[in-house]
Chains A and B, each alone.
Chain A
Amino acid sequence: MPQNRQFRWLKSLLLAAPLACLVAWLIVGGVKGSFSPDLSPSPGAEKSAPPRLPAASPPSVLTGFPPPEGDYPADRLFERVDGAADALIAAGCGRILFWRMEDPAAEMELLIFDRASGAAGILARDVGPGRDPGPGEEASVTDQSVFFRRGRFYVRILGDPAANPGRGRLLDLAGRADRGLPASEIQTSSANPARQEISP
């Protein structure tokens, strides 16, 4: 049936045409190098919610105590101490751990410095010249607070004025904290690898 065959040729042509055009366009475009990418920027601006730097979360540094309620690495110290953070960082503080104790009712902060001199400097800034007998290498004790330092670890204990636990019980707590501190290493040159506790 010649009519059928003609029809089939026509259909075949129709089918092949788009493909042929496509091939031709691609070849011509490829040779000419004329497909420039569409560089018009798509609409869309750039602001969104601020990402937060992650908190370090290794296990509790203080033995004999539950995990701290707050653990602030160097980049988030300000969340605990606001403006004082920069002075702490300049003195080498890399981390603050924070506990809220119930018995006695007190707050305890452990500030970890990378050198003992930094810790000593901040303690001196906090309490001034006088020292009292107490835990650690140096301490300042009042009826409502015990601040002490052992090596590069600086502990601040503040009794809750409403509950008023008293000097004696705060000193007990300080003693327990002192015993729970990591064994202090002897400081040598700064060429030692940084301690694991302080990771940026």
Chain B
Amino acid sequence: MSGPSAPEIPVVAGAAEMRRLPIYGPRVFRRIYQGFFLLLFVFTLVLMTDEGIHRFPVRWLFHLDPLAALSVLASSWVLPVAFLWSLALVALTVVFGRAFCGWLCPVGTIHQIVSWATRPMRRGAPSKVNRWRLHFRWKYLVLIALLAVAALGSLQPGLFDPLSLALRSFASGLVPASASALSLEGFRPRIYQWAWLTGAVFIALLAANAWIARWWCRALCPLGALLGWVSRTAIYRIEVDPDRCNHCDRCAADCQGADEPFGRHKVSECHVCLNCISVCPEEAIAYRAFAPAAAPAGGVDLPRRKILGAALTGMALLPLFRASAGSVSSPAPGAIRPPGALAEAEFLARCLRCGACGNACPTGAIQPSVGETGIEGLWTPVVVPRRGWCEPSCVLCGQVCPSGAIRPLTPDEKGWTRPEGYGVRIGTAFMDRGRCLPWGMDTPCIVCQEVCPTVPKAIRLEEAVVTLRDGKQVRLQRPIVDPNRCVGCGLCEAKCPVTDLAAIRVTRAGESRSPESAFLLVSREGV
């Protein structure tokens, strides 16, 4: 646990204690870095706008992430160039150990803060209780299972990657919840479907800190596992001088990684928080390069059968997903992907489930999918026109997508504002004549036709004269969708005055990213 001062340490004015003035301790720097990167994370969230993405490299979060890079590579067999930045993090880990977890990771910082706040709730003396537990090995098994399923083509690691989890939870869960709770005006008030679930998952993980400090980081985080595995070769390590150590176990009390600096130190668990150094009354601990065989093991022992079991579990998941009628084998009409999305199988192999697109979408059209795309597509983005339409000249989602699951388009390539042209179609609008006011209720209304943005409009009007029940005759204009022109933007559905279930609804049929799935035929001869 780390606080501004550690109350457990006896305030005895001795030479050793005097030298540990916090202002010179490396812990101060760590906290500064932690705070800075947490702020950076918040900036990233906030700056995913048209202007923001030019002023700030919003995709840094994932391009630095070696787990994201490895997963995208495993599942789609390509590595977008920007992911080469993750090698920098690998290099950092190879030299300094899991310094990322202790110094940089915003999720770690948040868990750290909550762990500090829930200090009173954890039972038992910290130096006894804050030990490494056997179940902390789960994160390695989780990592292996996720990489196995990624190797088969489904980017499930995106679900568990902490940065993706954090972005998703904040962008489409906690921030909308707080904004609505605080009734903040103008702060992009948003409704995201299943926001409660997205937020609840994150909060539940935070709540685990009341039981064991930094439990996510220690027990579940697959990025931590990956970096932990890499850090077994770390050059700089914690080293305890056995001659000076008096076995007081105070280092265990504040240790963030539960890596047991005093005993068989596990480098792969150490978050390089350096609390142990600051706290040791004998100054027996140092963080040194090439620390000798005092820390031999380095890592965590995993029996081979557990590794195999995890890999097999992961591999078994994909056929189960695909057999469950998900969006690859039998997509639901509501599985409308954002414009520029790759074809479905490739999309699922590239989408990090990070929620950046949903965060960036100015109209709130992009929502996390919990159900429309089956279990394999959990938390992948879908367009829900009732929540928001896809703005015709906007191409933000592709520009913020870190892995290229949504290709960055130019407004011209998207083509919805071009006269007589469209490049990309995300679906088609279908009229429900029973609910439509002029078709089924003898009431005039042409909102859909008015808001249709294509040039010429994809909704045309047909005149009809009807006799009302009181004998009056009224001339009605009835909208008819022209499927050759409809791009699926959803403006019609978003603005349809039939409030609950719109009378005109967009479904994914006719999307252009899968040519074989179009339901219309287009002849090159123009016939």
Residue numbers of A with Cβ under 8 A of B are: 8, 11-12, 15-16, 19, 22-23, 26, 29-30, 33, 35-54, 75, 189, 191-194, 199-200
Instruction: Give A36 to B82 CA distance when docked, in angstroms.
Output: 13
With a cutoff of 8 Å between Cβ atoms, the chain B residues found around residue A189 in the complex are 466-467
With a cutoff of 8 Å between Cβ atoms, the chain A residues found around residue B58 in the complex are 37
With a cutoff of 8 Å between Cβ atoms, the chain A residues found around residue B342 in the complex are 44-46
Contact of B399 among A15, A39, A44, A47 (CB under 8 A): A39
Contact of A40 among B81, B439, B509, B519 (CB under 8 A): B81
Q: How far is the CB of A45 from chain B (nearest CB, A)?
A: 8
Would B24 and A8 count as touching, CB distance under 8 A?
yes
With a cutoff of 8 Å between Cβ atoms, the chain A residues found around residue B432 in the complex are 199-200
Contact of A53 among B32, B439, B509 (CB under 8 A): B509
Q: How far is the CB of B83 from chain A (nearest CB, A)?
A: 9
With a cutoff of 8 Å between Cβ atoms, the chain B residues found around residue A19 in the complex are 29, 32-33, 36
Instruction: Give A75 to B428 CA distance when docked, in angstroms.
Output: 14
Would A39 and B408 count as touching, CB distance under 8 A?
yes
Would B330 and A46 count as touching, CB distance under 8 A?
no
Instruction: Give A29 to B47 CA distance when docked, in angstroms.
Output: 14
With a cutoff of 8 Å between Cβ atoms, the chain B residues found around residue A29 in the complex are 55-57
Given contacts A37-B59, A54-B332, A194-B434, contact A47 B514 (CB under 8 A): yes
Instruction: Give A16 to B33 CA distance when docked, in angstroms.
Output: 9
The yes or no answer to B508 lying at the interface (CB within 8 A) is yes
The yes or no answer to B388 lying at the interface (CB within 8 A) is no
B430-448 vs A, CB cutoff 8 Å, 1 = contact: the mask equals 1111110001111000000
Given contacts A37-B53, A51-B514, contact A44 B434 (CB under 8 A): no
Interface 9-mer from B187-195, B215-223, B344-352, B449-457:
B344-352
With a cutoff of 8 Å between Cβ atoms, the chain A residues found around residue B519 in the complex are 53, 75
Most buried by B among A49, A54, A75: A49
Would B80 and A42 count as touching, CB distance under 8 A?
yes
Q: How far is the CB of B508 from chain A (nearest CB, A)?
A: 7
Would A33 and B404 count as touching, CB distance under 8 A?
no
Would A44 and B36 count as touching, CB distance under 8 A?
no
Instruction: Give A194 to B432 CA distance when docked, in angstroms.
Output: 9
Given contacts A51-B514, A194-B433, contact A35 B343 (CB under 8 A): no
- Between-chain CB contacts (< 8 Å), 29 pairs: A8-B24, A15-B26, A33-B54, A37-B57, A37-B58, A37-B408, A38-B59, A38-B81, A39-B399, A41-B408, A42-B403, A42-B407, A43-B80, A44-B346, A44-B350, A44-B407, A46-B515, A48-B328, A48-B514, A49-B328, A49-B345, A51-B327, A52-B330, A54-B333, A189-B467, A191-B442, A192-B440, A193-B433, A200-B431
Contact of A35 among B57, B328, B513, B514 (CB under 8 A): B57
The yes or no answer to B517 lying at the interface (CB within 8 A) is yes
Instruction: Give A37 to B399 CA distance when docked, in angstroms.
Output: 7
Nearest A residue (CB) for B466:
A191
Residue numbers of B with Cβ under 8 A of A are: 24, 26, 29, 32-33, 36, 40, 53-59, 76, 78, 80-82, 327-333, 342-346, 350, 399-400, 403-404, 407-408, 410, 430-435, 439-442, 466-467, 508-509, 513-517, 519
With a cutoff of 8 Å between Cβ atoms, the chain B residues found around residue A53 in the complex are 333, 509, 519
Instruction: Give A60 to B442 CA distance when docked, in angstroms.
Output: 31
Would A35 and B54 count as touching, CB distance under 8 A?
yes
Given contacts A16-B29, A194-B434, contact A48 B404 (CB under 8 A): no
Instruction: Give A26 to B58 CA distance when docked, in angstroms.
Output: 11
Nearest B residue (CB) for A16:
B29
Q: How far is the CB of A73 from chain B (nearest CB, A)?
A: 12
Would A49 and B399 count as touching, CB distance under 8 A?
no
Would A15 and B55 count as touching, CB distance under 8 A?
no
Nearest B residue (CB) for A30:
B55
With a cutoff of 8 Å between Cβ atoms, the chain A residues found around residue B78 in the complex are 42-44
Most buried by B among A38, A48, A189: A48
With a cutoff of 8 Å between Cβ atoms, the chain B residues found around residue A42 in the complex are 78, 80-81, 403-404, 407
Q: How far is the CB of A22 from chain B (nearest CB, A)?
A: 8
With A45-B346, A50-B517, A75-B519 already in contact, 19 other A-B pairs whose C-beta atoms are closer than 8 Å: A15-B26, A19-B32, A19-B33, A29-B55, A37-B58, A39-B410, A40-B81, A44-B346, A46-B346, A46-B513, A46-B514, A46-B515, A48-B514, A49-B329, A51-B517, A52-B331, A189-B466, A191-B442, A193-B435
Contact of B55 among A11, A35, A39 (CB under 8 A): A35
Q: How far is the CB of B466 from chain A (nearest CB, A)?
A: 5
Instruction: Give A188 to B440 CA distance when docked, in angstroms.
Output: 13
Nearest A residue (CB) for B432:
A200
Would B440 and A193 count as touching, CB distance under 8 A?
yes
Instruction: Give A46 to B512 CA distance when docked, in angstroms.
Output: 9
Would A46 and B343 count as touching, CB distance under 8 A?
yes
Query: Which A-B residue pairs are the 5 nearest by beta carbons?
Result: A42-B404, A48-B343, A50-B516, A193-B434, A42-B80
With a cutoff of 8 Å between Cβ atoms, the chain A residues found around residue B433 in the complex are 193-194
Instruction: Give A148 to B328 CA distance when docked, in angstroms.
Output: 41
With a cutoff of 8 Å between Cβ atoms, the chain A residues found around residue B329 in the complex are 49
With a cutoff of 8 Å between Cβ atoms, the chain A residues found around residue B53 in the complex are 35, 37
Would B407 and A41 count as touching, CB distance under 8 A?
yes
Q: How far is the CB of A130 from chain B (nearest CB, A)?
A: 36
Q: How far is the CB of B419 from chain A (nearest CB, A)?
A: 24
Instruction: Give A19 to B54 CA distance when docked, in angstroms.
Output: 22
Q: How far is the CB of A185 from chain B (nearest CB, A)?
A: 14
Would B408 and A47 count as touching, CB distance under 8 A?
no
Would B430 and A51 count as touching, CB distance under 8 A?
no
Instruction: Give A49 to B515 CA distance when docked, in angstroms.
Output: 9
With a cutoff of 8 Å between Cβ atoms, the chain A residues found around residue B328 in the complex are 48-49
Q: How far is the CB of B23 from chain A (nearest CB, A)?
A: 9
Nearest B residue (CB) for A42:
B404
With a cutoff of 8 Å between Cβ atoms, the chain A residues found around residue B400 in the complex are 37
Contact of A48 among B345, B434, B509 (CB under 8 A): B345
Would A30 and B56 count as touching, CB distance under 8 A?
yes
Nearest A residue (CB) for B350:
A44
Q: How far is the CB of A197 from chain B (nearest CB, A)?
A: 11
